[in-house]
Chains A and B, each alone.
Chain A
Amino acid sequence: MRSTDTIGWFSDIGLDDRPYVGGKGGSLGELQRAGIDVPPGFVVKTGAFEQFVQALEREAPLRARIAALDPDNLEDVAACCQEIRARIEHTALPPAVSDEISSAHNALSESGRQEPVAVRSSATTEDAIDASFAGLQDTYLWVTDFEQTLQKVRSCWASLYSIESVAYRRKRGLPEEGVAMAVVVQKMVDARTAGVMFTRSPVTGDRSVITIEAAWGLGSAVVGGEVTPDRWVVGKVTGEISVREVSEKLIQHRPVTSGGIESVSVALALRHIPCLTDEELNALRDIARKVERHYGRPQDIEWAVENHTEKILLLQSRPETVWSAKDAAPVATVAQDPLQHLMSIFGGRR
């Protein structure tokens, strides 16, 4: 199936398409292009949102009303936001748009059976604060049918009109034209084990190690901090595993057949054993290096090991920000006489 103004398949998009597919969507496309396994999926592009908004505007003004709000009048802002979010959540999509999403959704599913998907917002704004208001965290897991999928797409869109997001835009006087949201629809991975990895040490900032945290089941339990994950530190270059901490993993997230996920107890026999093998850690290291090389900077990566197939899939990768922001003065710089470096050892206090 081909990509259009409404739908963009991962294989057709990259970071350059961020204005239309958002950061998350662009990154997933970029990763797939770089030869890294990501669960198959597509992005409902900003074009789809725009068509939807135009349809809404024809019924009643939307952007003009927001643009007219006084950010200091929180009551007005709240009332208006609530009303607009309700319109977004409850208005049917233009048939052309929903047909395209439907075809794409069908194309994701094998043998006619509807595959569970994950629906995630993919913000287009470069403004990190704005992006975080605009539902960066909106992720709907194990969405089982098409109707639900469409509903979750609308929920992602609606998050653009949260009180915080609107108040922020109004305070800054940002134009409402062009405010848009892309949405990622991706085949859901039923994970045996999942987690996150940093391509540097979160503690020391060391770029020569990869820190991996993982627990049984879906990664949401790790990301949400509901389980103490197992933790490893792996040499980026050497592959040497310098830290192994196996935690007591009490709970895991797993899909519910009817949709959504649930938190259940981990079987006693699994609680105290590592949820990844050394081979898997090594495979994760390869992926981490590949991703970091591709982007040219340290990454913060979510991944999963698929149940049964044992395949490692990458769910998301974004630039690491904490240490990158405070990359310190150089450890040492070139000396005119290389022997002067020795004085750091022999010279005592400098």
Chain B
Amino acid sequence: MTLRPARQASVNSPWLRFNLATSCILVLAILRLHPRALLVRRTKLPASRTRSQSMTSPAKPKSFPLPSSLQVVPGTERAQAANPYHIQFSKADDGRFWFYNSMHFPEPMSAFDMVTAEAAYCALGSANTRVHCLPTTLGIDHRIINGRVYIGGNAVTDSAEVARRTQEFQKRAFYYYENWERLYAQWREKMMALIREAQSLPNPRLPQLEPLEHVHAGRGIASNHDLLVTYQKTLEGYFRMWHHHFEFLLLGYGAYLTFFSFCKKAFPEITDQTVARMVSGIEAEIFRPDEELRRLARRAVDLGVDAHFQEGHGAEAILESLQNAGPGGVAWLKELETSRDPWFNINVGDGFYHYHRAWNDDLSMPFAGLPGYIARVKAGESLQRPFEKLQAERRQLIQDYRELLSTDAERAAYDQMITLAHRVFPYVEGHKFYCEHWYTNLFFNKIREFGALLSEHGFFPQSEDVFHLTHYELETAIIDLMSAWSAGSAPRGPAYWPEVVVERRAALEVWAKHDTPPALGEVPEVIDDPAIVMLWGITRESLDAWLSAGATGDSNEIRGFAASSGVVEGPARIVKSVEEIARLQKGDILICHITNPTWAPVFQKIAGAVSDIGGSMSHAAIVAREYGLPAVVGTGSATSRIKDGQRVRVDGARGIVTILQ
């Protein structure tokens, strides 16, 4: 018998260590998973010693650059100074380890968008530190430099403190698990109430004179005050939304990871996707937008208006032609409206940037998918997802792995863990639609309305320019306008902000071209965290590949994370923004920065998908698996290394993209 040892990824390269560590701390939670508790066999295997190529690294570097050595890019000092003092690096930060959260904030953030980091970390930390009392970790500190968000965790290492927090955790978090369904139902109500509140906020306007009915009603509060109220409620709602977001999130991930790490120990070679398939929901909210689109395709055929959906026609043109298409067209437009609210509130990114617009705000994405779906309906496909079949497959998968366990005791433990994972998973999968998509769209759109108002009053040329102000500055600008309106004088903003906006826009462009270190400060001990693998796509292997890709730039292989099995070849289509979606032709390989569930409409058209960012549990990966579309995510560099039109091969099971020409 000559079976050779399987190749194991090296764990000995110091580069891999600190890169892994960088990514690990993050995990929304700094779960501070102990490596021994998790990937026992992977870390213990001596097999890495049998492999030489990736082990020739030099001695372990002692430290990343210290925060104090990091320079603000010359010429952008004023843009940097817009950030409040408490998120600027200081000398005292040199004693800690920080890393760049490139997963959530892969591009330099505009001044306003920084509110997401502030609100999210504030809520995350509260949940971990003070609400559920995670035993081994507190929250996350963040700092911003050159538009990049660096974060640093706060681990609990004192064993007495861990013990004390463990007791608290079991009183608090366990209560959540025990009452999950009730609390989650309550969560949805809270979240829907929050959404309704945001929807009911008025469009900020300033009348020439206070309306007569206000006066006669003795309202006693003038309209300029409403601006401030609306703005503060908008901001408050966003901070509150993030608290809701983290109310369950870490607990949900924790239950999933418990099952995940059990599977990894029982079946050391099981792929992450397989575990994900055992747990992921079949009727999760995340599938709904695309299901609505399929429904609309069926309705278009039923109503006899399918001929209006021509490949390459813009959404506007199609809508206009339907308005003049008789009762069928009107009926379809009605159907469209029911789908749009709420399911088209899904945005084309992760909701962390204001320019990740929702389908509702830009119909080009969903409409790009309609002609293909209509063609399939006409070819006799139902386009209904086969729920029962999918459910039966999932049950079979769970059953087959169960059988492979060695003992009944393990089977009983397996049953307990997967039951728990199934209980929590609807939240893990569902919250994104309500938080990062629906609510976030409402939030950024309300800010846009303020942008429109301020731009009308000459504060800056475009309403989108409002996103170059921090949320503190925006309040100042609003108060400037309120005061001017009340004083009857001209606001000062028009003389102040245009220059700032130009400066900030230029800074963003400079920062985007400027590399930033992946981490800062002293290298901590190795952390091995499967949440990172699942959600951020960082593994030793992928980091190895990212690094070697940097070292041998001429290689025609790009390695990433195996997201969805299958091998396919086709022409690469680099799609950097939604506007470019229309360029995708049948059989193309989509190459993009981040794939997102909202891209599902084009999934039916393309032959494969490759992204720079993402993990096997990212929603894009789930959707790709659902559609049987080969996908490689988290390549780090696909959009920069592949040229548009090049022929590429996507091997979704191995996570390898090969440039063929």
Contact = CB atoms under 8 A, between A and B. Distances in A.
A206 B254 contact: no
A237 B401 contact: yes
Interface string B10-47: 00000000000000000000011110110001000101
Contact of A203 (B33, B47, B261, B410): B47
Interface stretch (B70-78, B169-177, B445-453): B169-177
Secondary structure class of chain B's binding surface, majority of residues: helix
Contact of A237 (B170, B254, B266, B404): B404
Contacts of A341: 258, 262, 413, 416-417, 420
Interface stretch (A164-172, A304-312, A330-338): A330-338
Contact of A207 (B274, B404, B565): B404
Interface in A255-314: 300
Contacts of A73: none
B136 A208 contact: no
Nearest to B2: A225
Nearest to A324: B406
B6 A203 contact: yes
A238 B412 contact: no
A235 B266 contact: no
B269 A346 contact: no
A334 B416 contact: yes
Interface in B246-293: 254-255, 257-258, 261-262, 265-271, 273-274
B261 A345 contact: yes
B269 A242 contact: yes
A304 to B, nearest CB: 16
A235 B654 CA distance: 13
B653 interface: yes
Interface size for chain B: under 10, 10 to 19, 20 to 34, or 35 or more residues? Answer: 35 or more
A265 B407 CA distance: 47
Interface stretch (A20-28, A105-113, A194-202): A194-202
Interface in A201-237: 201-209, 211, 213, 222-223, 225, 229, 231, 233, 235-237
Contacts of A223: 1-2
B341 interface: no
B268 A201 contact: yes
A186 to B, nearest CB: 20
A254 to B, nearest CB: 19
A335 B3 contact: no
Interface string B424-435: 000000000000
Contacts of B254: 342, 345-346
B397 interface: yes
B634 to A, nearest CB: 17
A54 B178 CA distance: 76
A34 interface: no
A335 B273 CA distance: 27
Contacts, number: 162
B174 to A, nearest CB: 5
A29 B414 CA distance: 36
Q: Which of A229, A343, A350 has the most CB of B within 10 A?
A: A343
Contacts of A244: 654
A244 B7 CA distance: 11
B282 to A, nearest CB: 17
Contacts of A237: 274, 397, 400-401, 404
B162 interface: yes
Contacts of A332: 262, 265, 410, 413-414, 417
Interface in B387-414: 397, 400-401, 404, 406-407, 409-410, 412-414
A327 interface: yes
A348 interface: yes
A2 interface: no
Interface in A71-97: none
Contact of B270 (A206, A225, A338): A206
B62 interface: no
Contacts of B134: 346
B90 interface: no
A243 interface: yes
Contact of A346 (B31, B36, B397, B654): B31
A205 B178 CA distance: 36
A346 B136 contact: yes
B4 interface: yes
Contact of B3 (A198, A205, A338, A349): A198
B7 A245 contact: yes
B6 A243 contact: yes
Nearest to B266: A331
Nearest to B531: A345
Contacts of A343: 166
A185 B641 CA distance: 59
B269 A206 contact: yes
B34 A348 contact: yes
Given A203-B5, A204-B268, A208-B401, A330 B136 contact: no
Q: Which of A208, A344, A345 has the most CB of B within 10 A?
A: A345
Contact of B258 (A209, A233, A331, A342): A342
Contacts of B4: 213, 231
B420 A202 contact: no
A173 interface: no
B153 interface: no
A293 to B, nearest CB: 9
A343 B263 CA distance: 16
B608 interface: no
A240 interface: yes
Given A244-B654, A330-B410, A332-B413, A203 B45 contact: yes
A328 B262 CA distance: 14
Interface string B529-568: 0000000000000000000000000000000001001000
B371 interface: no
A347 interface: yes
A347 B261 CA distance: 14
A318 to B, nearest CB: 10
A209 B258 CA distance: 22
Contacts of B169: 346
Interface string A112-132: 000000000000000000000
B136 A334 contact: no
Contacts of B271: 235, 238, 240, 242
B54 interface: no
A229 B3 CA distance: 9
Nearest to B136: A348
A339 interface: yes
Contact of A342 (B177, B273, B414): B177
B351 interface: no
Nearest to A322: B1
Interface of A: 196, 198, 201-209, 211, 213, 222-223, 225, 229, 231, 233, 235-238, 240-245, 300, 327, 330-335, 338-339, 341-350
What 9 pairs between A and B have smallest CB-CB spacing?
A334-B412, A204-B268, A348-B136, A338-B416, A208-B267, A333-B409, A332-B413, A237-B400, A203-B6
7 contacts: A203-B45, A208-B270, A240-B271, A242-B653, A345-B258, A346-B134, A348-B32
Given A235-B270, A332-B414, 13 more contacts: A196-B3, A201-B268, A204-B268, A213-B3, A235-B274, A241-B653, A242-B653, A243-B7, A330-B409, A331-B413, A341-B262, A345-B261, A348-B37
Interface of B: 1-8, 31-34, 36-37, 41, 45, 47, 134-136, 162, 166, 169-170, 173-174, 177-178, 254-255, 257-258, 261-262, 265-271, 273-274, 397, 400-401, 404, 406-407, 409-410, 412-414, 416-417, 419-420, 562, 565, 653-654
